[in-house]
Amino acid sequence: MQITMFKSKLHQMVVTEANLMYEGSITIDQDLLDAANLLPYEKVQVLNITNGSRLETYTIPGERGSRICCMNGAAARLTQVNDRIIVISYADMTPEEAKSHKPTVVIVDENNDPKKIIDETKYASEYDLESGMLDNSLQ
């Protein structure tokens, strides 16, 4: 059996551009993609903190050091420049792999500069990965 786990995210990104006429995707500074363990053209979910919208798209590498976060195509209708978003990727793995998996979280500031990189979550180990329920025996 395979389960889908949270792999990595860029947290609190600021949308710097919105390009409605592009065919689609989200352009992100290659340095930020690297920091969050995201590949060019990887499928991601984008959660808009500002307005609550959610969408799926894929990443396009932007110029290193530019701190660009550009919503392209139809996604540009769901975001505005200066909206705060979360960009999340997921990975399929076995429950055994998931037990030792450590997601990468990159928290950025208002300029999309990485301020903190976390490579684990304290919560994942508290859940039974077969059932998805809180495992009280681990507390």
User: How big is the CA angle at 125 (ends 120 and 131), to the nearest 5 degrees?
Assistant: 130
Cβ–Cβ < 8 Å for 85, 54: no
Count the domains in the chain: 1
Quickly list DSSP for 36-97: TT--TT-EEEEEETTT--EEEEEEEEEPTTS--EEEEGGGGGS--TT-EEEEEEEEEE-HHH
- Catalytic member of 8, 22, 25, 100: 25
The predicted pLDDT at position 125 comes to 56
What pLDDT is stored for residue 121 in this prediction? 57
At residue 23, the pLDDT reads 77
Amino acid at 37: N
Catalytic residue among 58, 127, 131, 137: 58
- Residue 47's CATH number: 2.40.40.20
Q: What is the pLDDT along the chain (139 residues), one digit of tens a residue?
A: 999 999 999 999 999 999 999 877 999 999 999 999 999 999 999 999 999 999 999 999 999 999 999 999 999 999 999 999 999 999 999 999 999 999 999 999 999 999 988 876 555 555 455 554 545 554 4
Q: How far apart are CA 71 and CA 44, in angstroms?
A: 12
Q: How many residues does the structure list for the chain?
A: 139
Q: How far is CA 110 from CA 14, 57, 63, in A?
A: 6, 23, 18
58 catalytic? Reply is yes
Sequence-ordered list of residues with C-beta below 8 angstroms from that of 52, at least 6 positions apart, any chain: none
Predicted model pTM: 0.84
Q: How far is CA 131 from CA 39, 66, 90, 92, in A?
A: 30, 43, 19, 16
Answer yes or no: 123 catalytic.
Answer: no
Range of the domain at 12: 3-138
